[in-house]
Structure 1
Amino acid sequence: MEYSSLLKPTENLENLERQLMCPICLEVFSKPVVILPCQHNLCRKCANDVFQAANPFMVTRGNTVTSGGRFRGPLKTHRVIIDFFNTTNIQQLSRVNSALCLSRAVENHRPVKKVDHPMCVEHAEEKINIFCLTCSMPTCSLCKVFGAHKDCQVAPLGSVYKSHKNDLSDSISRLVASNDRVQLMISEMEHSCKVIDENSRVQKQMLCEQFDGVYAALEERKQEMLMVISQEQEDKNQHVRDLIKQYNEHLQSASKLVETAFQAMEEPEAAAFLQSASALQKSVVDATKGSDMPKMEMGYENMNHFLVDLDNVQEAVRGIDFGKDAEDEDEEEDEEGEEVAESEEGNSDSSD
């Protein structure tokens, strides 16, 4: 900060010296004159010497006719033509076409695009300066006086410009507000999509849990009924196995009795045969009566009584739908309400 404050006065002095310096002799001005349109100064002697030396057409001591001088500008390398006839009229210079030092004056500025004033289509040399309210278009004064808009109502461009600008500003404000509402609606709809996805996920999870519960209940009931069938199967098989055992025991006993009877039939002695014949005869008769042993009932092996009709259940499962329970409950409540109303009406009639 201290160094910068010390340097600023030095810079100001340098700028001042530069402004008071003649661009020809590089010394402080001596009798400065203004001869350039850029308002730069020159020493009178320097200007005279430069134009006399650089102009071959100037009137010299040898009576040569001159028409002007040429030299390089003091700050930029632009050439400036200055027409004069002698050094006495150096103050009366003609206008110079070249704008000396103009580039330095604007070198730190950004160029601005030139905006041409719109011209009338019908009158190329006339600028558009009024607005036709009847035709809603800008036009020129000649069109109002002599042209196609002479019978129309017109207004100055400034007032119409302000009015249209205000209208456009209001329309822009309304459009921006409308865009904000649309953006808000879009945000709400995007939020609705997220809510729909979340609600769908919850409902799917609940539906899967309900069906899983139904599956579990069906599986549990199936296992219970299978156990009933299995139990009866075991009981019947056990009963049949008991009968088979009894029949096997009876068969073995009968086989032994047959073998004993055959041995008795081979006895040659009558006395010995008769001693065992009566008892053997009685045993054979009793064994023959053993054919009246318990038998299986007709169709004992049949298991058709375990048939289950699940057609109604399947139809009920296929008929499962959303909201059915609530509708059925509402219908039942309506029917109950109607029945109560009818019973009350019947009671009132009977009391009368």
Structure 2
Amino acid sequence: MNSMENLEKQLTCPICLEMFTKPVVILPCQHNLCRKCANDVFQASNPYLPTRAGSLTSGGRFRCPSCRHEVVLDRHGVYGLQRNLLVENIIDMFKQESSSKPTPESIEETPMCDVHEDEKINIYCVTHSVPTCSMCKVFGAHKDCEVAPITSIYQTKKTELSDGIAMMVGNNDRMQGIISQLEEACRAIEENGRRQKTLVCEKFDHLYSVLEEKKREMSQKVTVEQQEKVNYIRGLTKKYGDHLEESCKIVEMGIQTMEEQEMAVFLQSTKDILKKISEASSTAHLDKIERGYENMDHYSVDFKEEGKALRTIDFIQDDEDEDDEDEDGEAGTEEGEGAQTTSGGDAVTDASVQPSAAPQMTSSSPSAAKSAA
């Protein structure tokens, strides 16, 4: 008896909780279902699947109620699954074996009425939705109620429960699908966030490189003029030094001539020395620099406007209400506006720096200094 009970459990459908009815279908996960139960689960899982003339026009999917494995069906639906003939034969043999054995005498476990203890519960009160006995209908509390045979109500409620289970299985399947979609959305958001952060960093790195290049270019301009002025001043210093050295030699010659006692010799040397003194006293042939020549303030910069533009950097906001013509018209305007960066474009405007309107030097080159002198 225990073996037969165990076998009967193995031959029980997990949906209707009854022994499998023909035909029995075998799922890809090797679990079995009644075809009717499998079809109920399939329709509950795919309520909006298009049908034509009572048959499916495309495939669908649902989850096995035993192992939750997802079953994908073709356009034939449940009717495209393979029948498990072995299980059907075992069920036939089990039923024949059960019918051939003498039924042992056993006490029926039919529940008894609480009011009439000797009466079995054999009818169903439709008004109060409770099972009761015949005496309650005739003399008891349900004499004015609508009743029905308990067997018919049993089949109705069993079918209703089976449909409810199938519907719940379908709802669970849809809920699992929603959970999977949400998890996939989370993964997509994380991946998109990492990609967009990488793009933003690349745009800022490009902006840094533009600023570095501009800094080197402007520094080079200052260095070139600095070196030009320094070289000119050093050359002028050398000229003045040579003139001073020559003047010192003439002074020494004059002192030596002053010590000469012979008047004729003195007069012969004086003419040449006085000529040299006259020439050495004149510095008209030497260049002079004007006041402020060493000033480099004309290379001053002001980044107030560029700083404001950098602080307004933000992501471009798409306006879905704008027409295509408006977008085309605004595209040209946006090209001339302040620097801005986006996650998907290269629209970074260089913060161009021009020397401010500081007082310009009077002579900015050696030739100009000579002309001024």
TM-score range relative to shorter protein: 0.5 to 0.7
Compared CA separation, residues 266 and 140, structure 1 to 2 (3 A)? farther
For residue 227 of structure 2, the aligned residue among 234, 237, 242 is 234
For residue 155 of structure 2, the aligned residue among 162, 172, 197 is 162
Distance 1:332 1:265 in 2: 95
Corresponding residue for residue 277 of structure 2: 284
Give the counterpart letter for 2:249 in structure 1: K
Say whether residues 1:193 and 2:174 are aligned partners: no
User: Deviation digits for residues 69-102 of structure 1, max 9, x if unmatched?
Assistant: xxxxxxxxxxxxxxxxxxxxxxxxxxxxxxxxxx
Q: Using the TM superposition, give the Cα deviation of residue 242 of structure 1 relative to its aligned residue in structure 2, in angstroms.
A: 0.7
Corresponding residue for residue 171 of structure 1: 164
Corresponding residue for residue 309 of structure 1: 302
Compared CA separation, residues 324 and 317, structure 1 to 2 (3 A)? farther
Corresponding residue for residue 202 of structure 2: 209
For residue 272 of structure 1, the aligned residue among 257, 262, 265 is 265
Compared CA separation, residues 269 and 167, structure 1 to 2 (3 A)? same
Query: Quick one: higher RCO (CA 8 Å, sep 6+), 1 or 2?
Result: 2
Compared CA separation, residues 151 and 270, structure 1 to 2 (3 A)? farther
Corresponding residue for residue 112 of structure 2: 119
Compared CA separation, residues 249 and 129, structure 1 to 2 (3 A)? same
Give the counterpart letter for 2:267 in structure 1: L
Q: Structure 2 length as normaliser, TM-score?
A: 0.52
Question: Mean Cα displacement is larger for which, 145-154 or 221-230?
Answer: 145-154
Corresponding residue for residue 319 of structure 1: 312
For residue 240 of structure 2, the aligned residue among 238, 247, 251 is 247
Compared CA separation, residues 270 and 162, structure 1 to 2 (3 A)? same
Corresponding residue for residue 16 of structure 2: none
Say whether residues 1:333 and 2:328 are aligned partners: yes
Corresponding residue for residue 221 of structure 1: 214
Corresponding residue for residue 140 of structure 1: 133
Question: Mean Cα displacement is larger for which, 267-276 or 183-192?
Answer: 267-276
Compared CA separation, residues 280 and 172, structure 1 to 2 (3 A)? same
Percent of aligned pairs with the same amino acid: 47
Give the counterpart letter for 2:296 in structure 1: M
Q: Using the TM superposition, give the Cα deviation of residue 326 of structure 1 relative to its aligned residue in structure 2, in angstroms.
A: 8.9
Q: Using the TM superposition, give the Cα deviation of residue 278 of structure 1 relative to its aligned residue in structure 2, in angstroms.
A: 3.7
Distance 1:258 1:134 in 2: 144
Over aligned residue pairs, what C-alpha RMSD do you find? Answer: 3.2
Residue 323 of structure 1 aligns to a residue whose secondary structure is: coil
Distance 1:127 1:214 in 2: 91
Q: Using the TM superposition, give the Cα deviation of residue 244 of structure 1 relative to its aligned residue in structure 2, in angstroms.
A: 1.1
Compared CA separation, residues 120 and 292, structure 1 to 2 (3 A)? farther
Give the counterpart letter for 1:165 in structure 2: K
Say whether residues 1:299 and 2:298 are aligned partners: no
Distance 2:108 2:265 in 1: 160
Give the counterpart letter for 2:143 in structure 1: K
How many residue pairs end up in the alignment? 224
Compared CA separation, residues 130 and 324, structure 1 to 2 (3 A)? closer
User: Deviation digits for residues 221-243 of structure 1, max 9, x if unmatched?
Assistant: 22222222221221111111111
Compared CA separation, residues 123 and 325, structure 1 to 2 (3 A)? closer
Distance 1:325 1:151 in 2: 71
Distance 1:205 1:232 in 2: 41
Report the structure number with the largest CA radius of gyration: 1
Residue 241 of structure 2 aligns to a residue whose secondary structure is: helix
Distance 1:325 1:245 in 2: 68
Q: Using the TM superposition, give the Cα deviation of residue 253 of structure 1 relative to its aligned residue in structure 2, in angstroms.
A: 1.1
Residue 155 of structure 1 aligns to a residue whose secondary structure is: strand
Distance 1:121 1:140 in 2: 9
Compared CA separation, residues 267 and 189, structure 1 to 2 (3 A)? same
Unaligned runs of 5+ in 2: 1-106, 333-373
